[in-house]
Amino acid sequence: YDGANLNAILGKARPGDMGFDVVHINLHKTFSTPHGGGGPGAGPVGVSERLLPYLPIPRVGKDGDRYHWLGEEATPKSIGRLSAFAGNAGVLLRAYIYARMLGREGMIRVGEYATLNANYLMAKLVAAGFDPAYPDRRATHEFIITLQKQAKELGVNTMDFAKRLLDFEQHAPTTYFPLLVPECLLIEPTETESKAELDRFAEIMADILQESNENPETVTGAPYTQPVRRLDEVKAARELDLAWKGETG
């Protein structure tokens, strides 16, 4: 099970009950940990009981109130030791604390509000004139709109929309994913956004759509409020510069 879709069912359904033996959890997406620039990240993997004997060692076991290591003698069917990096302990701890603070009732609300926010925002954008990629489907925690019509008729593509959003102090949703939907925006408001913020985003998107119809050059020339207008995105993705380096004399 891909944990990228966990927000929609958190507290509502269990992947194990659906027949999944392996579950990957995106801590950065569902449990409040940082995400960006390649890390720090952590993706815990849970397995069904029947796969427990095969997990790599050492594992942590529990006997009463005491914890101990489980090695080869305790788990003879284990696939053995792995040399993979241990992960980011701080990220794991933060996610654990967040989950404990939510509790059972809080996790149920996460699933409810993530789904409610996505469907509400999708309805607002459709009413504003945007085309949903799958108009016959209800959203779960995310939905897709396509700007194929605007790109073809007005010369304003998805990246132009994304750059124009910066002028309204909005970070763009995921662009051009999934690849099978042309000129798409993958929009996932999550459970944390208020109705006022969703309304504001929908209003900004409607304004940009109106600009595209009336003066498309305004959108294709964006952004106007940033120190750098348009970056070499291919180079930026392949030559990551994540640390400030002072000038050397």
Report the relative pairing of strands 59-63 and 66-70 from DSSP bridges: antiparallel
How many helices (H) does the chain have, and how many strands (E)? Answer: 7, 8
104-122 pLDDT tens trace? 999 999 999 999 999 999 9
Q: What is the pLDDT of residues 214-230, one digit of tens each?
A: 999 999 999 999 998 88
Distance from C-alpha of 102 to C-alpha of 31, rounded to nearest angstrom = 10
Pick the CATH number of 2-108 from 1.10.3720.10, 3.40.50.170, 2.60.120.560, 3.40.640.10: 3.40.640.10
What residue segments make up the domains of the chain, in order of their start?
A: 2-108, 109-234
Instruction: Indicate the SS3 state at residue 212.
Output: helix
CATH of region 109-234: 3.90.1150.10
Residue 84 confidence (pLDDT): 72
Q: pLDDT averaged over the chain?
A: 92
DSSP calls for 44-64: -EEE-GGGGGGS-BSEEEEET
